[in-house]
Amino acid sequence: MPSTAEQLHAVQIAPSILSADFGRLRAQVQDVLAAGARVIHVDVMDGHFVPPITFGPLVVEAIGDAVHAAGAIIDVHLMIERPERQVVEFARAGADSITVHVEATPHLHYVLAAVREAGCAASAAINPGTPAAAVSEAAAADSLDMVLCMSVDPGWGNQALIPSSYGKLRRLREQLPRSVALEVDGGVHRETAARCVRAGAGVLVAGSAVFDAADPGAAYLELAAAASAARWPAPEAALDADERR
């Protein structure tokens, strides 16, 4: 079985349960797993770092068996202040990778080490207003398994991808060692998925595009097909104006 870090290197769609029907959460997760999803994205919000409050470790635990039985992983995205205080709880609950925001802690190096210590892949997220260089020291220190590039402001699903995100993804992909996976989160749908892959993203988080569809499994498959048809690096001539920025 591939390691978590290996699983994060494939070009793929990571359904985000933020847009799922919570009354049928397990069934909805099982739908996308049956369709082939191998990364399930869990958005944790604390009402401080971002206004909404969503899930805690109990929700990770509730879907853990189903996800792991399918050979898939749980990708926890912590949109919380001082994430270093919560890492162990999420790891115990079944998280396989844990992403912390660089804007949410003065102790990035420490928290990334704590994530690995807890047995998870370590990832740092940057908001749209944060420069790509904010993860360069963590990359140089070999503290990162993945970088998550927010392509919308964090806190809500169903927003439009900010077009300058393509250029930022390209810069990140060029700047980061190949051993560091690149994830994009926000506004991924059928048209933007291919553009994100051409810009260098591998893991494409998709919430509303999967779970607002009548058939989430079919929506996942359509997105996965669009993503896997695209290639990085794309020839300059294949890029549109937004992607060249």
Contact call for residue 77 and Zn ion (CB under 5 A): yes
E strand intervals along the chain? 12-15, 39-45, 73-79, 97-101, 121-126, 146-150, 181-185, 203-206
Contact call for residue 101 and Zn ion (CB under 5 A): no
Judged by CB, which is closer to ligand DX5: 203, or 205?
205
Judged by CB, which is closer to ligand DX5: 129, or 177?
129
Tokens for 122, please give them: 């370590």
Q: What is the dihedral of CA 206, 208, 209, 211, to 10 degrees?
A: 100
Contact call for residue 145 and Zn ion (CB under 5 A): no
Check the CA dihedral 154-146-132-162 and report its sign: negative
Residue 188 binding target from ligand DX5, Zn ion, none, CB below 5 to 8 Å by type: ligand DX5
Q: In Å, what is the CA distance from 201 to each residue of 4, 10, 26, 183, 222?
A: 17, 10, 28, 6, 18
Note the residues at the interface with ligand DX5 (CB under 6 A): 16, 18-19, 41, 43, 77, 152, 154-159, 185-188, 205-209
DSSP character at residue 143: -
Q: Smallest distance, Å, CB 41 to ligand DX5?
A: 6
Binding range to Zn ion, per CB under 5 A, among 66-74, 101-109, 159-167, 185-193: 185-193
| Rounded Cα gap, residues 184 and 89, in angstroms | 25
Q: Smallest distance, Å, CB 1 to ligand DX5?
A: 26
Length of the chain: 245
Residue 195 binding target from Zn ion, ligand DX5, none, CB below 5 to 8 Å by type: none
29 φ, ψ to 5°? -65, -40
Contact call for residue 183 and Zn ion (CB under 5 A): no
Judged by CB, which is closer to ligand DX5: 62, or 113?
62
Active site residues: 43, 185
Residue 86 binding target from ligand DX5, Zn ion, none, CB below 5 to 8 Å by type: none
Judged by CB, which is closer to ligand DX5: 48, or 109?
48
First and final CA of the chain: distance in angstroms? Answer: 39
Which parts of this chain interact with Zn ion (CB under 5 A)? 43, 77, 185
